[in-house]
Amino acid sequence: MTASIQLQRAPEVQYLLRLGDTCLILAQRLGEWCGHAPVLEEDIALTNVALDLIGQSRALLTRAGELEGRGHDEDQLAFLRDERDYFNVTLVELPGGPKSGGDFASTVLRNLFVATWAKLLWDRLHTSSDAEVAAIAGKALKEVRYHQQHAADWVVRLADGTVESRERIDAALAALWIYTAELFESDAVDAQAQASGLGPRWADLREPWLAEIGAVFGEAGLSIPKDSAFRSTGTRGVHSEHMGFILSDMQHLQRSYPGGVW
Amino acid sequence: MNLDPAAAAPTRVERAWQVLATVLDPEVPAVSVRDLGIVRDVIEPRLGDETSSVEGEPASLEIVLTPTYSGCPATEVIEHDVLAAVVAAGLGPAHVTLRRAPAWTTDWISDEGRAKLLAYGIAPPGPAAPDVAVPMRFFPRKTQAVALACPRCGSTNTERLAAFGSTACKAIWRCIACKEPFEHFKPI
């Protein structure tokens, strides 16, 4: 077994890992659909989205490692951290694949929530004071527009489709909505990012996000649910019970065969 | 490219550009990396550059590439192929640097590259949307702004089957006139 790396939790490192880990864990969840999606085109679509997300995550983890200054590269950061050193939002850990109790409706609805949020975040990171982050964002922004459009199309089709598809999208909305609040939680980490020009406060993304989700929901005949007091805490490193299982899958090879490459 | 009108023989940089026109994209082997606009620059090292450590060997030629998609698995293969071709042509040593900004866009695909894509059966991309807010449109509602011509029969009676295709850069369409499916290089 390879020992875990110890992360230097500087605010700018955490800020980048919150987005980078969110991309990484969502990609892992979407990868569960490979070979299992309802039709071949959607199998390809979900894994294509996952591939883009892994690319974005690789770039962000590399940059976070450089800012951390301990010589950690993207692979060490992806595979050798302990659970509490991952800072993704809890939403992307929730079961989504066919074998973990999720279904296609919850997958596309979560993709819509995350892609809409990521698009707004990448758009602001495009003018980051960190030139590397700005460059990564310029590319990611083009990709995430396709992700958002794909997810939005499906949310409309399922909500406006058959009785069963509507029941599934309603159930997905009821299950996922309370986790979206974390996408707009602000604290000292993003306050510092805003002050240094690295990136925006997440709280500032909430109004434009609600406007875009509202437009899709209007087309779909869905209503925005009421707010809840529940707050998930993945961005602070405190995860749901699902996270350990994801990491054991993801980390197994590097932990068992240290430094193994293709 | 620094063109010296007095020099008859092509410079190392000019020869490198010629070689790069023969390096094909591994996933769309109809077009070269030059056609796709992935090669952003070829830079002759300045005099006194210390990038070569071997005595008597010229300094390393810098080839600047820009990645197409963040997660495109062809990126590393392209790096390898580009270096191998330049070195095989006797223009080495060389090294590749990646330039992320400005982000690659399908607008950089040359006219020749577009013609090659079409001949290969892939509908070339239209102009990429400007980097501003793009309104969302909902499929399958009939809101496609520009009719895409079938690369086989030329009919514009076509429809999109899926937004994602066999590689990150393509979508799947079909022609209703000639009944054939075809791929579309997505504008990005």
Q: Could you give the ipTM of this predicted complex? A: 0.80
Q: Report helix angle B74-88 to B12-20, nearest 10.
A: 130
* Yes or no: domain B12-104 corresponds to CATH 3.30.300.130: yes
Nearest CB to A219; choose among B138, B163, B165: B138
- The type of residue at A81 is R
Residue A57, pLDDT above cutoff 60: yes
Q: Looking at the complex, does the CB of residue A139 fall below 8 Å from at least one CB of chain B? A: yes
CATH number of A11-256: 1.20.1260.10
Residue A114, pLDDT above cutoff 60: yes
Mean residue pLDDT of chain B comes to 86
Nearest residue of A to residue B135 by CA position?
A149
Q: What is the pLDDT of residues B16-40, one digit of tens each?
A: 999 999 999 998 999 999 999 999 9
Instruction: Find out whether B71 and B169 touch, Cβ atoms under 8 Å.
Output: no
φ, ψ for residue B86, nearest 5 deg:
-65, -40
Q: What is the pLDDT of residues A80-98, one digit of tens each?
A: 999 999 999 999 999 977 7
Q: Looking at the complex, does the CB of residue B132 fall below 8 Å from at least one CB of chain A? A: no
Nearest residue of B to residue A54 by CA position?
B71
Mean residue pLDDT of chain A comes to 95
- Tell me the average pLDDT across A113-137: 98
- Determine, for residues A150 and B163 on separate chains, whether the beta-carbon distance falls below 8 Å: yes
Distance CA A184, CA A148 (A): 18
Position of tokens 């009939």?
A: B142
Contacts of A166-175 with CB under 8 Å at 24 or more apart are: A168/A103, A168/A104, A168/A105, A168/A106, A169/A105, A169/A109, A169/A220, A169/A222, A170/A222, A171/A105, A171/A106, A172/A103, A172/A105, A172/A106, A172/A109, A172/A110, A173/A109, A173/A222, A173/A225, A174/A225, A175/A94, A175/A106
In order of A4, A80, A248, the CA distances from A255 in angstroms are 9, 7, 9
- Determine, for residues A134 and B131 on separate chains, whether the beta-carbon distance falls below 8 Å: no
Q: Looking at the complex, does the CB of residue B101 fall below 8 Å from at least one CB of chain A? A: yes
- Determine, for residues A152 and B136 on separate chains, whether the beta-carbon distance falls below 8 Å: yes
Residue A152, pLDDT above cutoff 70: yes
- Determine, for residues B69 and A219 on separate chains, whether the beta-carbon distance falls below 8 Å: no
pLDDT-derived band at B137, boundaries 50, 70, 90: low
Residue B12, pLDDT above cutoff 60: yes
- Tell me the average pLDDT across B105-115: 95
Q: What is the pLDDT of residues A196-205, one digit of tens each?
A: 999 999 999 9
| pLDDT value of residue A262 | 72
Nearest residue of A to residue B167 by CA position?
A48
| pLDDT value of residue B39 | 96
- Determine, for residues A56 and B70 on separate chains, whether the beta-carbon distance falls below 8 Å: yes
- The type of residue at A14 is Q
Structure tokens at B5: 């009108």
Task: For residue B184, give how far its alpha carbon lies from the nearest alpha carbon of chain A (Å).
Answer: 14
Preceding peptide of A38 cis, ω within 30°: no
Distance CA A59, CA A63 (A): 6
**Tally of CB atoms within 10 A around A152:** 26
Structure tokens at B76: 């590393």
- Of residues B49 and B82, more confidently modeled: B82
Question: Starting from the edge strand earliest in sequence, which strands make up the sheet with B39-43, in order?
Answer: B39-43, B61-65, B94-98
- Determine, for residues A48 and B104 on separate chains, whether the beta-carbon distance falls below 8 Å: no
Nearest residue of B to residue A127 by CA position?
B101
Nearest CB to B101; choose among A45, A52, A135: A135
Nearest residue of A to residue B71 by CA position?
A55
Distance CA A117, CA A208 (A): 9
Q: Which of A23, A211, A91, A125 is nearest to B136 (CA)?
A: A211
Task: For residue A250, give how far its alpha carbon lies from the nearest alpha carbon of chain B (Å).
Answer: 18
- Tell me the average pLDDT across A128-137: 97
Q: Looking at the complex, does the CB of residue B2 fall below 8 Å from at least one CB of chain A? A: no
- Determine, for residues A139 and B137 on separate chains, whether the beta-carbon distance falls below 8 Å: no
Task: For residue B10, give how far its alpha carbon lies from the nearest alpha carbon of chain A (Å).
Answer: 34
pLDDT-derived band at A102, boundaries 50, 70, 90: confident
Nearest CB to A139; choose among B100, B137, B186: B100
Sort B169 into a burial class: Cβ within 10 Å, 0-12 / 13-18 / 19+: buried
Q: Indicate the Cα dihedral angle B176, B178, B179, B185, nearest 10°.
A: -80
Q: Looking at the complex, does the CB of residue A54 fall below 8 Å from at least one CB of chain B? A: yes
DSSP H stretches of helix in chain A: 11-31, 40-68, 74-79, 104-125, 131-159, 163-176, 188-196, 206-220, 243-256
Distance CA B79, CA A63 (A): 21
CATH 3.30.300.130 domain locations along chain B: 12-104
Residue B7, pLDDT above cutoff 60: no
- Tell me the average pLDDT across B145-154: 85
Position of tokens 């620059």?
A: B41
Report the DSSP pairing between strands B158-162 and B94-98. unpaired
| pLDDT value of residue B46 | 75
| pTM, rounded to two decimals | 0.90
**Tally of CB atoms within 10 A around A137:** 27
